[in-house]
Amino acid sequence: MSDAGETRRKRVLFRAHHTGMRENDLLIGTFADRHLADLDDAEVEWFEWLLMNHDDLDLYNWITGRTPVPEALHHPVMTALSNFKFAI
């Protein structure tokens, strides 16, 4: 893995644990702890984009199924996040 890829993964891991909402920190941070190493570079880039460009409450509601995930956010990482809540 390149240094840039490793730096991005570290940045995403930090962001996953520091979202601004404790519930998301636990949910998304634990997901990142368990699955970030298994994501390819494109999936890590998408995950970073998701965390950096969406409201914390929206993320929580989408992941927990309280509101439907917008069509534009249908992605394997979002599916994995949504399914992960059942595995905690």
Domain extent listing, the chain: 9-84
The share of the chain scoring above pLDDT 70, in percent, equals 94
Average pLDDT, the chain: 93
pLDDT at 2: 75
> Please, which pLDDT band fits residue 5 given cuts at 50, 70 and 90?
confident
Give the per-residue pLDDT at 66. Answer: 96
Helix residue ranges, H only, the chain: 3-17, 22-35, 41-53, 56-64, 76-84
Whole-model pTM: value is 0.90
Class of the 9-84 domain? mainly alpha
Q: Given phi > 0 = left and psi -120 to 50 = alpha, else beta, which region is 82? A: alpha
Tell me the pLDDT tens digit for each residue of 56-70: 999 999 999 999 999
